[in-house]
Amino acid sequence: MSIQALLFDFDGTLVDSETLHYLSWCEVLKPFQVFIDELTFCTEFSGVPTVKTGHILQQRYALSKAGSKLAQEKNLQFIETAKTHKPVLMPHARDVLSACAQKFKLALVTGSTIAEAMPVLSHYGLLELFDCVICKDDVEHPKPNPEPYQKAMQQLNVSAHQVIALEDSHTGLTSAVDAGIRTIVIPHQHSKDQDFSKATWICDSLESAYKDVITSS
């Protein structure tokens, strides 16, 4: 059966938001006098769920706050950071989304919260292109659990064999694959060394994913 829908990840796939996440964590860690350089931080934590990152940082630096509390503070800080530092779109993101929206149903499936994702989507005028948006708030078990992708397919009324997911991280890939979805991975500088052995396709850009995979599926 032909492809009916495309399910897009957000951070690292459509928007280059790694720096904003890093700056937000810096503010959270500042009272503890913990500093990690951006390249080191983003390479380790790209695609890692916020709560898991919080737990890792809490244990590594013996911080006095629980990992879950650190994650909550980081999510709130991201909203403040994004008011003055808008993440830039990944190359070809707008053109690819616009072209895909003319042929397929589109879903955004993200580990970001609604408060993190919606202002960015609205800022770039992309929200109207999506038939559904699944954020971290919408599920009980976020990525790498398959629930976000399962919920997106349910809302779009499609089956796994009718969709393709686009991801940039091992966490997102695991979520999509465990939902039975064929997945295009588009690695970037911070995720390029992660395990993508379960990807159906690996492309070097959104443009390549569209031209080499999506239009021929």
Whether residue 186 sits in one domain with residue 129: yes
pLDDT digits (tens, 9 = 90+) for 32-85: 999 999 999 999 998 899 999 999 999 999 999 999 999 999 999 998 998 888
Name the domain count of the chain: 2
CATH of residue 146 = 3.40.50.1000
CA-closest candidate to residue 25, choices 81, 86, 63, 66: 81
- Picking from 84, 118, 133, the residue at the C-terminal end of a domain is 84
Location of structure tokens 């992708």: 149
The overall pTM is greater than 0.85: yes
Q: Domain containing 41: what range?
A: 18-84
For residue 77, give the H/E element and its range: helix 67-84
Task: Say yes or no: 198 and 127 in one domain.
Answer: yes
Model pLDDT for residues 119-156, shown as the tens digit of each residue: 999 999 999 999 999 999 999 999 999 999 999 999 99
Residue 12: alpha-carbon gap to chain centroid? 6
- Domain identity same for 99 and 200: yes
pLDDT digits (tens, 9 = 90+) for 177-205: 999 999 999 999 999 999 999 999 999 99
10 with 111, same domain: the answer is yes
